[in-house]
Amino acid sequence: MPKAWTDGAPTPVVLQDHAHLKDTFAYKIKRKLLGNALNRHTLLHQRLKKRFALGILASDCISSSAYGSEQILIALLPAFGLAAFAILMPMTAVVLVILTIITLSYRNVINVYTKTGGAYIVARDNFGPVVAQIAAVALMLDYIVTVAIQSAAGVAAIISTFPGLNSWKIPMILLVIVLLTYGNLRGVKEAGKAFAFPTYFFIACMFIVFSMGLYRQFNGTLDQLATNLPGAVEVGQEQGLLTFAAIFILLRAFANGGSSLTGLEAISDGVALFQQPEHVNARRTLFIMSGLLGTLVLGVSWFAHKIYAMPYESGTPTVISQIAKTIVGDGIFGSFMFVMVQLATMLILFAGANTTYSAFPLLCNFVATDGYLPRQLTKRGHRLAFSNGILLLAGGGIFLVLFTAGSVEHLVAFYALGVFTGFCLAGFGMTRHALRHKEGAWRYKVFINALAGSISLIIVIIFSVVKFTEGAWLVLVIAPILVVTFLRLRKQYVIEQEALSVKEHQKRATSITRHDVSVFVDSLDIATVGAIRYARSLNPRNLAAVHFVIDDRRAEDIQKAWAASEAVSDVALELIDCPDRRLANSALDYAIRTTERSDVELTLLLPRRAYSGFLGRLLHDQTAEQIAAPISQLPRVVATIVPFDVDRITSMSNIEIHQSHEVKPESSIVMKNPIKKTESENSEPISHHTKNVTLISEIQWRKRAKVQGQVTSIKSAPRGAAPTLQVEIWDETGGVSLHFLGRRDIAGLEVGSQLRAEGMVGEENGSMVILNPSYELLV
């Protein structure tokens, strides 16, 4: 056989793109719905300027101002009558004080955890994994409720503008969740500038409404609304504030108002998205977000207090829509402005719901990586999103919408409990961190974080009591069950990992003195012959075929066919009685008897004939897996199933493959305007460095070349062999292997890296290689 390095031998070629299996029908459907699969190397962190980060990360938080004040009034009006509007402002002031304290606490979180600092990470690092699961469950429930409540509130804004759509409320909410899920499965980037627009649009519209409202208030033209309209929440009789019932109602109203603070943790979760210095920019953005939220909550509460904006039993029209309509009036500009406010409210609520499609799957990824959730939640899908986490979030949101009939009031009962549990654990976690490290103004940090944690804990207790009958009981029952489930999953993973870990006496995989191979046969056909051929390639000491007799006539036919066949003339056939027809037991007995000596290792080959789907399962039994399962539990015994596709032969079809890049044969290449080189040109020194990068398909054998491409494969020599490193790089035209002698690794080199290399082009096994090139890692 001619060698590439001899004169007249075939010229070596560069590596060409591999063939791929033809796409299945299911994959074609997925690609049609979701688009082409994204390359994992395109997964880059997008750094955000503060103005974009504010718009993107603050949408969930700022959108809470659209319904926080309304939820306070829903609790107060039936108990205190119109006095509820007077109580609204002090209640809002308390919420704003808590907002300030929690903001200062999360400022400390950002300073310490400069990459990601959610309550789960803080609790895990400071209290350990068990307490962290409480934070994980609380945050996961919070995110699921956020999808439901933001979608429901956004649809309520639409219905407030177009009341005739009220009968379509539930289908509209479900449609919103489905569209958000579909968009995120397609890989819609949360960091896109388009997602910043709803936040600024909503802020601008509300500031215009507030400015007009203040002008009308000062010149005495701001109207008050009627409080006895049909459909409005029932107005109760005024009563004292110091009775037990009154205090209970006040606490429930306060718990409702706490929903305005949801989303505060978004900045600390996304610190790594900011431009450098990350923690400085994140800290400033946090203060701006909290300031805007406080202003919006205060403005909505103050104008609701002034105009007597009544919440309605059906949820529409909303309080914020009544404020806008009363202030801007019914003129042309007023009608336009009212529609704009409702549009802005709807967009920011939907954008807030979309934020959780990034946070929830990421949280599930953290928890699953730690081993407390199924590992499937760590895998990225077709478009590089955590698809399983997205589907889990959507399923939970849809369930809550159907369970509560899309009522924002009922959804709030599930809401703030998870939020403030996260605030509580983050506050106490940062308190412990400050006490352990005692850096800088640590006493101040201890005070702020302990205060935030204590207040959040009090709110969690209040919420659990006053909202217990409205749905909080469900969270209080489910949360402990989920925490125990997470811990049980972790225990199972630990047990499995311990079973698979390499023990000290197993670190050296020594060879067994005697390796025998047996092939279980049920007939003599091409599948059996293929298994025998594979068995020979294992170079066993003894090769045998075994048939378990459950039908004497069939066994006799197999024995005659075996004796007459040239294909298996060198393999002995052993017939073993199986009187009870339990093949798995007989196979197990055979394996135990064969490996009685400690120096024997046995490989059992089980030919498995794969037939067409339903009809194949109906006409043929599948015993290979049943036999392999118990055998795999024996030491020094390996059961290998050798598949054979019968359906491919019966249907006369072959696997269809295609080449991503069509490679023309060498004989078809035509040189345009060939130029004869002179002797002096042919004798050009080959040691000169190449100035420009050459396409890999154009490099020439025995010439120097500078190539650049993406690393697709790294192969290092085993520890017992001479140190070598083989790196395969590809560009859009082909691939080439780089061989580094005398080393086993290159610092910073990993699969997916961009590498530029220069050296002499040689060959190995007919393919071009570059030996010991100079190289440069590209960032």
Average pLDDT of the chain is 80
Cα 775 to the center of its chain, rounded Å: 35
The confidence band for 687, taking pLDDT boundaries of 50, 70 and 90, is very low
For residues 269 and 111, give the distance between their C-alpha atoms in angstroms, rounded to a whole number.
12
**Per-residue pLDDT at 1 exceeds 80:** no
**Per-residue pLDDT at 221 exceeds 50:** yes
For residues 407 and 414, give the distance between their C-alpha atoms in angstroms, rounded to a whole number.
12
The confidence band for 671, taking pLDDT boundaries of 50, 70 and 90, is very low
The confidence band for 189, taking pLDDT boundaries of 50, 70 and 90, is low
**Per-residue pLDDT at 210 exceeds 50:** yes
Is residue 385 within 8 Å of 181, Cβ to Cβ? no
Q: What pLDDT, on a 0 to 100 scale, did the predictor assign at position 232?
A: 73
Paired strand residues for 760:
704
Is residue 194 within 8 Å of 56, Cβ to Cβ? no
Say whether 519 sits in a helix, a strand or coil.
strand
Tens digits of residue pLDDT in 99-144: 999 999 988 888 888 767 678 889 998 998 889 999 899 888 888 9
**Per-residue pLDDT at 284 exceeds 80:** yes
Tens digits of residue pLDDT in 45-66: 445 677 777 877 788 788 878 7
The confidence band for 697, taking pLDDT boundaries of 50, 70 and 90, is confident
Nearest alpha carbon to residue 425 among 110, 57, 144, 136 = 136
- The dihedral through the CA atoms of 77, 80, 86, 89 has a sign that is negative
DSSP states of 470-518 = IIIHHHHHHHHHHHHHHHHHHHHHHHHHHHHSPPGGGSS-PPPSEEEEE
Tens digits of residue pLDDT in 418-460: 888 888 999 999 999 999 888 878 888 899 999 999 998 988 8
Nearest alpha carbon to residue 222 among 303, 301, 161 = 303
Tens digits of residue pLDDT in 737-750: 999 988 888 888 88
Is residue 737 within 8 Å of 764, Cβ to Cβ? yes
The phi-psi region of residue 672 (left if phi > 0; otherwise alpha if psi is between -120 and 50; otherwise beta) is: beta
Long-range Cβ contacts of 663-666 (<8 Å, 24+ apart):
663/16, 663/17, 666/11, 666/13
For residues 707 and 696, give the distance between their C-alpha atoms in angstroms, rounded to a whole number.
6
Instruction: Give ∠ CA 636-637-638 in degrees, rounded to 5.
Output: 125
Tens digits of residue pLDDT in 359-371: 888 888 889 988 8
Q: What pLDDT, on a 0 to 100 scale, did the predictor assign at position 672?
A: 33
Greater confidence, 465 or 44? 465
Greater confidence, 768 or 195? 768
What is the token pair recorded at 385?
Answer: 């999103």
The structure's pTM equals 0.73
